[in-house]
Chain A
Amino acid sequence: MDPRLALAVMAGKASATLIRRLGRGGGTAAPGVVASRVDPAILDKLARQVAAGCVVVAGTNGKTTTARMLAGICACAGLRVIHNRTGSNLVRGITAAFAAQSSLTGRPRGDVAVIEADEAAFPEVVRRTRPRLILLLNLFRDQLDRYGELDTVAARWGETLRALPPTTIVLVNADDPALATLTEGLTAPRRTFGLRDGRHQLDQLPHAADAATCRRCGAPLTYARLFLSHLGDYVCTGCGYRRPPLDTAAREVALCGLEELTLTLETADGPLALRVGVPGLYNAYNALAAAAAALALGLPPVAVAEGLAAFRSAFGRIERVTYRGRRLVIVLIKNPVGFNEVLRMLEMGGAAPTLILINDLDADGRDVSWLWDVDAERLRDAPVPLYTGGIRGDEMALRLKYAGVPPERLVPLGDLPDALDSFVDDLPPDGTGFVLPTYTAMLRLREVLAARGVVHSFWQD
């Protein structure tokens, strides 16, 4: 036994308990800081002992959902899983999760670790956990005030990926041209996944998409099929670089309203029909990624099917609550691509009055200019009133005004909790409303709903 490690684990656990007893939140990150203070190498030491190895999941959108899907599949395969499931995805949050799920003797209580990593933390997380598999989902514009330009993130990832040993598998979404080029010519073996489906196409690149130019030669890309943002089946008009062949592909993606989706996975061992309990094309990508990762880890297809069938959404990503007799569908929005895809998904469930809550605290990104990259014009002809609220709700109202939403359908409200009350007052009894909060607005919304006995606190999730 490593006494220093054991002490660090104990310190982490004790501080997590203390924080919760004091009612200071979920204790999902601070215990990691405390534990690392005692033993700076705690994460490296614990990660090394995980028998079936660590999986690091990274990407702009879908990390939390995909990691939870994969953890669910692992559990169905009979593995005990270490997982930062609340989405606390900086090094300290990951350390806290490992400490919480290890014994007091410093032994991880898991056969496999599924680690969601923040884009900026990705290099350090990879260096310290030495993953067996890295799952790369997508790279979209997100919180430019925090992460900097997308090219900066891509360059740092590239350095990390090129330094990987041949024992790490890099599993990449080949539909993302930026990730595909970034994973060419690595020492580590690469596997790919993507969509092979003609049903869900975009006519043109959304405004939120980064320039669809080749990262090898700078020439424009053309798409045989464009599925989501800049994800699709592409070829470069200059150097001819095209989407790499897919090792695992999804076809026959059927999106069934706001409830679920089905798809058929093409694998090396034949087709596998999957049913997933979350809606939207972006979740089809998440399910495809989780399934491809599970298969790459050698888990049985039946566990993949069972794990995804049993999957329920991560907290705040998509939630349905009943409040004062009204059904509220709450969907997190984080960045322009996510916002666009949420609007695309909600359209399939039929229109409902919608409350959009925009905050500009650090965790949301202090720069609200991203709202102007959202294709809010989709809402112009929605036959329902649109409400705005949150610290920067007025900016959202302005965005909708310039999208052409007529004033009689535009209702600017103040901050929470008043915005929620006014919105719910306006909904017919038994009616349905959509609520789209940014991250800290979602936390605040849950706080309000929890205080009124409607939802559980997230760390009980």
Chain B
Amino acid sequence: MKLTICWLYGTTMNIYGDRGNVLALAQRCRWRGIDAEVVTLGVGEPLEPGRYDLFFWGGGQDREQIPVAEDIRGPKGEVLRAEVEDGAPLLAVCGGYQLLGAFYRPHDGPELPGIGLFDAWTIAGDERFIGNVVVDSDEFGEVVGFENHSGRTHLGPTARPLGRVRIGHGNNGSDGTEGCRYRNAIGCYLHGALLPKNPAIADFLIGAALRRRYGEVALPPLDDALEAAARAAAVRRALATR
């Protein structure tokens, strides 16, 4: 079996260790005997329908986000939306998450329209939310990460959050939500990197990709002792620093 992972805008939007998510997806496939190929797709490079099993999109600096926002508004965004509607798993963090909503309105400069995959929109706030985050999610249990964003993301009536913030600010610092879920797509503000410390989410994405490509496939468990230890350390630090 083989999964092909598409790392959207990986050369320009790879801030805050988000590459760790791609490593986690690929390694957790390989450790189970599943081949994993990672393809980085940049601005201007077409997204071929049906080629990819899993999508990852990380955060970037504001400057780097402008050409990307323009690129995703074209055919690439249409293909991505169709893939997600068809059940393709996707993880988007921070900048990528914002551009999957309706729009991102920065402090200065023009509003960046998103592709509206998530029923959400983002407006830049004054204070930057920086720090460790612990989220309680019905699907994935305790989720840990590190947030560093000034965008305030608001969820629309049809949107479902990833979870409730126990420690930290989350989507907007006021309604207690963090992230957004739609079909097999997850958007959130959790750097860290997220997936190595939260293997339940990594395995959810891999499982969804396998099912879509190969039908019902059992995902054998891995020894996640180190993952659990790193998670526990992150939660301890979140408690100590917020």
Instruction: Report A's interface with B, CB cutoff 8 A.
Output: 141, 144-145, 148-151, 207, 211, 213, 218, 360, 366-373, 391-395, 397-399, 401-404, 412
Contacts and interface: CB of A to CB of B under 8 A. Distances in A.
B19 interface: yes
Interface in B130-151: 130-132, 146, 148
B192 interface: yes
A367 B191 contact: yes
Interface residues of B, number: 38
Determine the main DSSP class of A at the interface with B.
helix
A27 B23 CA distance: 44
A145 B27 CA distance: 28
B24 A402 contact: yes
Nearest to B227: A398
A207 B146 contact: no
Interface string B221-242: 0000011011011100100010
Interface of B: 11-12, 14-20, 23-24, 27, 60-64, 67, 128, 130-132, 146, 148, 191-193, 196-197, 226-227, 229-230, 232-234, 237, 241
A398 B197 contact: yes
Nearest to A393: B233
Nearest to B61: A149
B237 A144 contact: no
Given A145-B130, A366-B132, A211 B229 contact: no
Contacts of B18: 369, 372
Given A397-B229, A398-B230, A372 B23 contact: yes
Given A366-B131, A367-B148, A394-B232, 11 more contacts: A141-B15, A145-B148, A149-B61, A149-B62, A151-B62, A213-B12, A368-B146, A369-B192, A370-B17, A372-B23, A397-B229
Contacts of A150: 61
- Among B11, B18, B230, chain A packs the most CB atoms within 10 A around the CB of B230
A369 B12 contact: no
A211 to B, nearest CB: 5
A151 B17 contact: no
Contacts of A398: 196-197, 226-227, 229-230
A397 B226 contact: yes
A207 B14 contact: yes
